[in-house]
Amino acid sequence: MFPSLLRRSTAVGYIARAKAHGAQSLLGPFQSTGERFDHLLRGVVDGVFLLHQAVSSHGTAGMDCVKVEDGHVECQIPITEALQNSYGTLHGGCTATIVDVLGTMALLTKDATRPGVSVEMSQSFLAPAKGGEVIVARGEVVKYGRALGFTEVRLFDAKGKLLATGKHTKAFPS
């Protein structure tokens, strides 16, 4: 029925790339591990790049990481049709995925070998992100410990209006 879901991808995702090459390798277009839940952030649907949709300032149709610092990442995300709900705004589930991914990326800036596993995550939706817009998402490490990492992610429109916030807690199993 969905042959792309039955294939195992050989794509190298952002976590493996950071582990192999360090946190600065997170810069640039987002790399998922193939056809997993986060693949829509790449700006690709059924193998077709969505260049006719909104694009980031770097010309990519998917999420583009523009800043990586110690404990902080910043990405631009075009709200393409694939990321929208039936109202033409950013889908809440996609917001949760952004919180998950950016929280993990922020933790990888502390130690690229410790992405952790999610133990708690929440989102608050403050205003809609309209289809065709390019939003800015910022992930920050709030606390980084031996066993747990705590992050916050904020999504903004082009004018700086806060659209959504999220918190993500990850455990670092030994």
**Single-letter code of the amino acid located at 118:** S
116-145 per-residue burial string, b: 16 or more CB within 10 A, e: under 16: beeeebebeeeebbbbebbbbbbbbbeebe
Asked if 134 and 141 count as a contact pair (C-beta separation under 8 A), the reply is no
Q: Using the predicted structure, report yes or no on whether residue 76 has a pLDDT greater than 90.
A: yes
User: What is the average pLDDT across 7-28?
Assistant: 76
pTM over 0.85: no
- Sequential DSSP letters for 23-68: GGGG-EE---SSSSTTGGGGTEETTEE-TTS---TTS-SS-EEEEE
Q: pLDDT band at 15, cuts 50/70/90? A: confident
Q: At what angle do helices 14-21 and 92-108 cross, to 10 degrees?
A: 10
pLDDT of residue 17: 84
Q: For residues 116 and 26, give the distance between their C-alpha atoms in angstroms, rounded to a whole number.
A: 16
- For the stretch 103-161, pLDDT in tens is 999 999 999 999 999 999 999 999 999 999 999 999 999 999 999 999 999 999 999 99
pLDDT of residue 2: 35
pLDDT of residue 6: 36
pLDDT of residue 35: 62
Q: For residues 24 and 112, give the distance between their C-alpha atoms in angstroms, rounded to a whole number.
A: 10
pLDDT of residue 109: 96
User: What is the average pLDDT across 161-168?
Assistant: 98
**Single-letter code of the amino acid located at 93:** G
